[in-house]
Amino acid sequence: MCNRRGFLKKVGFLAAAVSAPGVLISRQKQPKPDIILFISDDHGWADSGAYGDTYIRTPNIDRLARESMRFTHAFAASPLCSPSRCVIETGLMPHRNGGHKFGTPIDSDIRTMPEYFKAMGYYTAHIGKFHHNPRKRFPYDHVHRSEKKAPAFLSGYDKPKPLFLVVCTHPPHTPWIKNTAYDPKKIKLPPNYVDTPETRSDRANYYSDVTLMDSTLGRVLDAVDKHRDKANTLFVYTSDQGANWPFEKWCVYDGGLRVPLIVRQPGKVNRPGVTDAMVSLADIMPTLIDAAGGEQPKDIDGRSFMSVVRGKTKTHHKAVFGTHTGNDNGGPGIANHCPARTVRTAAHRYILNLEPDRTFTTHISGCRKGSPHHLAFWDSWVRKAKTDPKARKIVQAYQHRAAEELYDIRTDPHEMHNLADSPQHAKLLGSMRKLLAEWCKQQGDTVGRKRLTE
């Protein structure tokens, strides 16, 4: 009877509260969203149907874009795998997190994404390519090296905690799979490529590997939609940097730093659409923390762009920055040590090459036959350059860089016409140089700042 009277008393109180004017009963707070970050490897920003390529087959990127906010001006902080991924994981640019050279560890006192999300009550998982160093500084609860396991993991996840999952594919990193789906003759090549049969054959292989990556994305999306609460899941797709082609990966041009970025969050995205707001991959971590309702980390370089995703603002950064140190893996003749700093605004890009007298050598131009990363197209470019002036100009432009480069992206989107020596652009050059020098100072990049202020 006591229990019954207590129950009736509560029912009476609730009924009175509902009927009383101006009294509201608070609903149960919505649980924290699941968050899934999908990162492809060496996928060029324009190489999908969603980003304008009418021949490549990327049905899953395209369907994700139809449900999402698609960013047209997202930029990596480095054109190399591990430095770029360390920026994503820390919200700090390469010289501030310590991992600015390929394969080097981040500083020991840097806090990383799994640590932030564990503190917010998440179960953290990383499936696929793991490209962070040292391993102990990235303490995910669950780690598996094959991205193929991601759909099964999602279907079997039954823990009470919200899920924070990072899925990293190996494709379309070299070696590319053998093409069986594309006609090389139908592929449209960028103007800064040398058109040879080998170029088209390798490009078709690359397209095939992009489509392979897209199929993995599709299976992950299907698993999310079937086994998780789609309405309460933030899904982000991006790439670590540009594709393994000249003037792209290893280079601080748009080809190397500009990346695809697509964000889906049903009920939170203002509407499926497109934004030209400039964002950096350093913004990824604070954005995901923001979506989870967490407090923004202090003293990091990135800042949340959820206000753009939710349609509250149309702009984010006025300028984004990038840095390249290089990598020594690959053996004699392949080591890439051509350091550069860059700043990109909506209209222009400025590049400072710290060692312009050094021949620019990468896995593209340095790998020999027999290496799994050897690409036949580069040898064909060199051969054609012996007799073709246009090919010679492109090969020279790839291997030899001026001390300073300045481009007007509006009229020269492939950055083929350096304006740094143009008298009419002297004022613009000075302002871009100053902007980069101030950033290098803020970053503690003494090498870059010294060169800019000499």
Cβ neighbours, 10 Å, residue 434: 14
CATH C-level class of 34-183+191-317: alpha beta
Q: What is the pLDDT of residue 333?
A: 58
Distances (CA, A) of 284 to 77, 173, 276, 347, 419: 12, 22, 16, 23, 32
The token pair at 218 is 């599709």
Question: Could you tell me if 369 and 377 are in contact, meaning their C-beta atoms sit under 8 angstroms apart?
Answer: no
**If we measure between CA atoms, which residue out of 84, 133, 63, 31 comes closest to residue 285?**
84
Bridge-based pairing of strands 348-353 and 142-144 is: unpaired
Bridge partners, 258 (sequence order): 75
Map out the domains of the chain as residue ranges. 34-183+191-317, 324-453
Question: Could you tell me if 129 and 102 are in contact, meaning their C-beta atoms sit under 8 angstroms apart?
Answer: no
Q: What is the pLDDT of residue 146?
A: 95
Residue 62 — left, alpha, or beta (φ > 0 → left; ψ -120 to 50 → alpha)? Answer: alpha
Q: What is the pLDDT of residue 7?
A: 34
Q: State CA 409 to chain mean position distance.
A: 20
Each residue's pLDDT expressed in tens, for the chain with a length of 454 residues:
334 344 333 334 333 333 333 333 333 466 899 999 999 999 999 999 999 999 999 999 999 999 999 999 999 999 999 999 999 999 999 999 988 887 788 999 999 999 999 999 999 999 999 988 788 899 999 999 999 999 999 999 999 999 999 999 999 999 999 999 999 999 999 999 999 999 999 999 999 999 999 999 999 999 999 999 999 999 999 999 999 999 999 999 999 999 999 999 988 886 679 999 999 999 999 999 999 999 999 999 999 999 999 999 999 999 999 999 887 665 555 667 789 999 999 999 999 999 999 999 888 998 878 888 889 999 999 999 999 999 999 999 999 999 999 999 999 999 999 999 999 999 999 999 999 999 999 999 888 887 888 7
Q: What is the pLDDT of residue 176?
A: 97
Q: What is the pLDDT of residue 372?
A: 82
Q: What is the pLDDT of residue 275?
A: 97
Q: What is the pLDDT of residue 400?
A: 96
Bridge partners, 69 (sequence order): 263, 273
Q: What is the pLDDT of residue 441?
A: 94
Q: In what order do the strands lie in the sheet with 233-239?
A: 142-144, 123-128, 163-168, 34-40, 233-239, 258-264, 69-75, 273-280
The token pair at 270 is 């203002």
Question: Could you tell me if 237 and 217 are in contact, meaning their C-beta atoms sit under 8 angstroms apart?
Answer: yes
Does this model's pTM top 0.75?
A: yes
Q: What is the pLDDT of residue 366?
A: 83
Q: What is the pLDDT of residue 6?
A: 43
Distances (CA, A) of 240 to 74, 157, 305, 424, 437: 11, 27, 18, 36, 25
User: H-helix or E-strand containing 37?
Assistant: strand 34-40
Question: Could you tell me if 265 and 33 are in contact, meaning their C-beta atoms sit under 8 angstroms apart?
Answer: yes
- Please compute Rg for the chain using Cα positions: 24
Cα-based torsion angle of the residue sequence 381, 76, 361, 187 in order, rounded to the nearest 10 degrees? -10
CATH C-level class of 324-453: alpha beta
Q: What is the pLDDT of residue 331?
A: 56
Give Dmax over CA atoms of the chain in angstroms.
Answer: 101
